[in-house]
Amino acid sequence: MTASDRIPTLEDVLDAARRIAGHARRTPVLTSRSLDVLAGARLFFKCENLQRVGAFKFRGACNAVQSLDPITAAAGVVTQSSGNHGAAVALACRERGIPATVVVPRSAPAVKLAAIRAFGARIVPCEVAQADRNRVTAEVLAGQGGSLVHPYNDGRVIAGQGTATLELLDEVPDLDVLVTPVSGGGLLSGTCIAGHGVRPSLRIYGAEPAGAADAHDSLAAGERITGRAAETICDGLRAELGTLTFPVLREHLDDILCVDDVETVAAMRLLWERLKMIVEPSAAITLACVMKHPGLFANARIGLVLSGGNVDLDSLPWQLSAVPS
């Protein structure tokens, strides 16, 4: 088994931290007394919206790309993504000096395409359906060679995402709880492995949109639920769990908490107003889940990973909801 197709260990996360040092940014941990009062807990926000490309995704992509041996690396990297992972792979490959190809569904916003292109990656369009994304990605790999770096179902990517938790616990060692968003489960799996590796007493929760609750339902059912439609404003949280991430979450998680988009948008606005941080809905969902469950978290010291800050400043969600329908 290679590093890409096995579940990483704490050692792998520590290796990843060494590998991405000098490439990824050590992001600050911020606090807000007024948010603490509102939540009835002590909140420590790990600001991955300040990470390069504006999201934690650069950690995993960079670790995967830097893990390649020189000959394999020279053949380039292929991935599929409509969002931050594509930009992250593109930037990581540029820093390594190797070619990147990103398979992007035609629905992707122009601004994200521009970011991927700005980092020098080749873009191959595909249809929106997951089956077509997979088909085109396989065709690209067969045609030009190169290594696949999956957005989350890849041990190197999971280990890279876990480095955010290493830094958070280094800065605030006595946390009681960790909360991160869950989509495909790469960030949350890395959080589990790093978090319980360093501090076994931690309670760890996933935060998931009620309209895309496949991870919650998968854990409840004891098997991976796939093929559902996702309906949520959290554009980063529409993927489904992978074969590597599902077992990690089963082993480590206390629970997955769900909120609806109205609660997420309210939390997003609170973070903008009180923390002065531009975070996307997929990041703000962590605070929404904490505020919805005061009984679970009373007076706890909670680390929340603010996963990203890439939003369209011309259409903010509280403006959308203010438009009469």
How far is residue 203's CA from residue 192's CA, in Å, rounded to a whole number? 9
How far is residue 266's CA from residue 232's CA, in Å, rounded to a whole number? 14
318 binds its own copies (CB under 8 A): yes
52 binds its own copies (CB under 8 A): yes
SS3 for 325? coil
- Convert residues 82-101 into a mask of x (bound to its own copies by CB under 8 A) and - (unbound): --------------------
204 and 175 Cβ atoms separated by less than 8 Å = no
Find the part of the chain contacting its own copies (CB under 8 A) among 157-165, 168-176, 196-204, 265-273.
265-273
- Convert residues 3-42 into a mask of x (bound to its own copies by CB under 8 A) and - (unbound): -------------------------x-x--x---------
324 binds its own copies (CB under 8 A): no
Find the shortest distance in angstroms from Cβ 104 to its own copies: 21
Decide the pairing of beta strands 77-80 and 147-148.
parallel
314 binds its own copies (CB under 8 A): yes
109 binds its own copies (CB under 8 A): no
How far is residue 160's CA from residue 182's CA, in Å, rounded to a whole number? 16
- Convert residues 198-237 into a mask of x (bound to its own copies by CB under 8 A) and - (unbound): ----------------------------------------
How far is residue 269's CA from residue 261's CA, in Å, rounded to a whole number? 12
How far is residue 198's CA from residue 27's CA, in Å, rounded to a whole number? 19
DSSP 208-238: EEGGGTHHHHHHHHTS---S-----S-TTS-
Find the shortest distance in angstroms from Cβ 131 to its own copies: 34
170 binds its own copies (CB under 8 A): no
Residue 212 or residue 270: which is nearer to its own copies going by CB?
Answer: 270
Q: Report the b/e string of 186-196 with b at 16+ CB within 10 A.
A: bbbbbbbbbbb
Residue ranges in contact with its own copies by CB under 8 A: 28, 30, 33, 47, 49-50, 52, 54, 269, 272-273, 275-279, 309, 313-314, 316, 318-319, 322
